[in-house]
């Protein structure tokens, strides 16, 4: 434990980020206290309270081991009044859409999957979002956990997570409730700490832009026509076998969405490959194949699969990846590793997480000349996009210095 670190309790200052910081939101430390909400009436009162808050913290607990979509089990909310744990197995979460679509700023940590949960359970996502994991990336952290940030930024030691916890089982135990409450107990204080430092560095707009990118990501089901690419063994098939595998994988993905099961529970990867290789002519032959679980192919699904196999035998298989971007010119391919190395060095100099500055895909898009590529827009264009453009156009050169590393300098005529 860090010297002077304190065990997790409700923070003395549930501070608010940036212009929302106000003495009106100071609360006294009374230990980790929370309200457990288990009926719609109490939840309606919570919504009425939080909808008027300028900022609130939110997190979710969910499972998706056997389902296509996440099953939300608990929602944790913290605002200036305290912490509420909402039992989503007993409460309809849709009224919370009024909060999410309001003016309040939602503070979350590693929000990507939680946003999917909210979209499905509430019908919408926050209109304003601050992700503390993203914010920390602009201070040099690399995908930090919440517990890491709490300890390093606030000297708070959070309860250890039990990754085997069954959040869908009732009643929830005290340890589960305390852990769940701890996920939001200090998020407002943490956000204020991080955003204060970010504001000092003049990076507030960068964080806002990155959080908006996350908020507006596509969270819909995956494209069934691309499902085969996630099955390693399918890549080695050829001809009719590949065409059948592609069709079967697409069917599996579609059925997984329709039945809310993981694709592999509908039909295993081995089953997809087995069906494609054997080209069964009857339902009995399908059920006899290795990797095919008869109990999964019920309610006419085996018959559906047989039709898919028969109809896809004459298909022409797809090989080329789906892309709306031009190929990377061969003369620019040697530049990619050099530019990647320079971007990594630039990120270290700026104390930025490299993936926030530019991913490999970002670099490829820039070199391809993709319209509206991320590195041609905003702060990324200024920091790396424009320098790389000058390099590619011959206006600049990339050199190496033993003391400072790679140098991107103007070309001397």
CA distances from residue 168 to 63, 83, 164, 267 in whole angstroms, order as listed: 8, 20, 12, 25
Nearest to 201 by CA among 257, 140, 153: 140
Q: Phi/psi at 135 (nearest 5 deg)?
A: -55, -40
Q: Which own/partner pairs from 277-282 qualify as long-range (CB within 8 Å, at least 24 positions apart)?
A: 277/237, 277/241, 279/240, 279/241, 279/244, 279/309, 279/313, 280/306, 280/309, 282/306
The whole-number pLDDT of residue 26 equals: 29
The whole-number pLDDT of residue 49 equals: 98
Query: Is residue 219 helix, strand or coil?
Result: coil
Q: Phi/psi at 31 (nearest 5 deg)?
A: 85, 180
Query: Is residue 56 helix, strand or coil?
Result: strand
User: What is the per-residue DSSP string for 237-299?
Assistant: --HHHHHHHHHHHHHHHHHHHHHT--HHHHS-HHHHHHHHHH--SSHHHHHHSTT--TTTSTT
The whole-number pLDDT of residue 260 equals: 96
Decide: 9 and 28 in contact? Cβ < 8 Å: no
Q: Omega of the bond prior to 67 within 30 degrees of 0, cis?
A: no
pLDDT in tens, the chain (413 residues): 333 333 343 333 333 344 433 322 223 333 689 999 999 999 999 999 999 999 999 999 999 999 999 999 999 999 999 999 999 999 999 999 999 999 999 999 999 999 999 999 999 999 999 999 999 999 999 999 999 999 999 999 998 877 789 999 999 999 999 999 999 999 999 999 999 999 999 999 999 999 999 999 998 889 999 999 999 999 889 999 999 999 999 999 999 999 999 999 999 999 999 999 999 999 999 999 998 987 778 878 999 999 999 999 988 888 755 444 567 777 788 889 999 999 999 999 999 999 999 999 999 999 999 989 999 999 999 999 999 999 988 898 888 888 888 888 888 77
Q: Give the chain's end-to-end CA distance (angstroms, integer).
A: 58
Query: Is residue 198 helix, strand or coil?
Result: helix
Helices H, strands E: what count in the chain? 18, 10
Burial class (CB in 10 A: 0-12, 13-18, 19+), 65: exposed
Question: Which residues are bridge partners to 62 per DSSP?
Answer: 72
* Cβ density class 164-184: b for 16+ within 10 Å, e for less: ebebeeeebeeebbebbbbbb
Nearest to 367 by CA among 351, 388, 353, 347: 388
The whole-number pLDDT of residue 326 equals: 61
Nearest to 373 by CA among 384, 129, 131: 384
pTM of the full structure: 0.86
3-state helix, strand, coil in the chain (%, to 5): 50, 15, 40
| Separation CA 180–CA 201 (nearest Å) | 33
Tokens (6 digits) for 118: 């909210």
Q: List, in order of start, the domains of the chain with CATH numbers.
A: 6-215 (3.30.420.10), 224-312 (1.10.150.80), 330-410 (1.10.150.80)
| Separation CA 10–CA 57 (nearest Å) | 13
């Amino acid at each position: 434990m860090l010297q002077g670190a304190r065990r997790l309790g409700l923070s003395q200052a549930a501070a608010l980020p940036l212009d929302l910081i106000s003495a009106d939101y100071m609360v006294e430390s009374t230990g980790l206290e929370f309200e457990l909400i288990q009926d719609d009436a109490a939840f309606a009162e919570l919504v009425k309270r939080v909808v008027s808050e300028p900022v609130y913290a939110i997190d979710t607990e969910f499972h998706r081991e056997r389902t296509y979509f996440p099953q939300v089990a608990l929602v944790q909310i913290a605002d200036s009044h305290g912490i509420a744990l909402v039992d989503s197995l007993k409460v309809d979460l849709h009224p919370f859409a009024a909060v999410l679509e309001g003016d309040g700023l939602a503070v979350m940590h590693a929000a990507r999957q939680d946003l999917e949960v909210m979209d499905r359970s509430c019908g919408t996502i926050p209109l304003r979002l601050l992700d503390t994991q993203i914010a920390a990336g602009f201070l040099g952290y690399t995908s930090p956990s919440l517990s890491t940030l709490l300890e390093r930024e606030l000297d708070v030691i959070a309860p250890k997570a039990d990754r085997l916890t069954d959040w869908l089982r009732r009643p929830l135990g005290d340890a589960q409730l305390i852990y769940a409450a701890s996920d939001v107990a200090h998020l407002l204080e943490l956000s204020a700490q991080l955003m204060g430092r970010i504001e000092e560095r003049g990076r507030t707009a960068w964080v806002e832009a990155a959080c908006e990118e996350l908020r507006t990501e596509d969270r819909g089901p995956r494209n069934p026509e691309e499902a085969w690419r996630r099955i390693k063994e399918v890549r080695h098939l050829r001809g009719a076998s590949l065409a059948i595998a592609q069709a079967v994988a697409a069917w599996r993905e579609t059925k997984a969405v329709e039945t809310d099961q993981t694709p592999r529970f509908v039909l295993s990867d081995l089953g997809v490959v087995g069906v494609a290789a054997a080209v069964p002519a009857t339902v009995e032959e399908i059920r006899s194949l290795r990797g095919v679980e008869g109990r999964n192919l019920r309610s006419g699904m085996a018959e559906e699969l047989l039709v898919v196999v028969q109809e896809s035998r004459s298909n022409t298989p797809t090989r080329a990846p789906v892309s709306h971007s031009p190929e990377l010119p061969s003369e620019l391919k040697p530049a990619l590793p050099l530019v990647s190395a320079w971007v990594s060095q630039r990120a270290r100099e700026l104390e930025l997480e490299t993936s926030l500055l530019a991913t490999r895909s970002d670099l490829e898009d820039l070199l391809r000349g993709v319209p509206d590529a991320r590195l041609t827009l905003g702060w990324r264009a200024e920091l790396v996009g424009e320098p790389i453009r000058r390099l590619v156009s011959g206006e600049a050169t990339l050199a190496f210095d033993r003391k400072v590393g790679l140098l991107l300098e103007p070309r001397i005529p």
